[in-house]
Amino acid sequence: MQSIISTSAPVMQQLTHEWYGNPVAAPVEFSFCIEGDCLVFRAAQSAPVTIHPEAQPGVFTEALWKYDTAEFFVADAEGRNYMEFNICPNGAWWACLFSGPRQPLAGVAAPAGVETTGTVTPGGWACSARVPLSCFERVGIGIRNCRLAATCILNSPDYQFCTTSDDLSGEPDFHRPWSWAAARIQ
């Protein structure tokens, strides 16, 4: 599935099935948009959510993926360097830059200037992240010529893994930059 990066109003897309092809109870809506000098990722779902117990809105937090989280991955056009970005439905976040599948780039700090929001109610959640384009550019990722995947982890601890990736073979693994479609700028 090709992810769209809008240059005007967000274009909402949906994750409707989990890794093994089963439908999720409520689709996760997501969008990518270039707003000024930032890439803005938005995600929402009309379903209850389980949040990492240490997640504080707007705060960098390790291991968000152990609970329900929205995520995105963005790589350079060849699928080498990439960023994984996790956002908790309440707005806590985590990010890491990689030089290959699960190989963190040495000596590169977490992105600076990130702004996140999140809202959680009994009936659903919505979150967003504004990531400066310079965070990608410093490792050779040009947002107008990149590979992109929206992902999420739902229903913890009985995990459902959802992704726009083209490779759903084997066990769930989002770290497959070769299988992320080239982003379409619209």
User: Each residue of 128-157: pLDDT tens digit?
Assistant: 999 999 999 999 999 999 999 999 999 999
pTM of this prediction? 0.96
Q: If you ran DSSP here, which 8-state letter would residue 183 be given?
A: P
pLDDT of 122 strictly over 90: yes
Mean pLDDT of the chain: 95
Residue 165 has a pLDDT of 95
Cα–Cα distance list, 55 to 1, 66, 84 (Å): 30, 11, 18
Domains and CATH numbers, the chain: 4-185 (2.60.40.1190)
pLDDT of residue 109: 86
Q: What kind and span of H or E run contains 78?
A: none
Q: What percent of the chain has pLDDT over 70?
A: 100
pLDDT tens digit sequence for 73-114: 999 999 989 999 999 999 999 999 999 999 998 888 889 999
Q: What is the pLDDT, as a whole number, of residue 170?
A: 96
The amino acid present at 106, given as its one-letter code, is A
CB environment 73-102: b (16+ within 10 A), e (fewer): bbbbeebbbbbbbbbbbbbbbbbbbbeeee
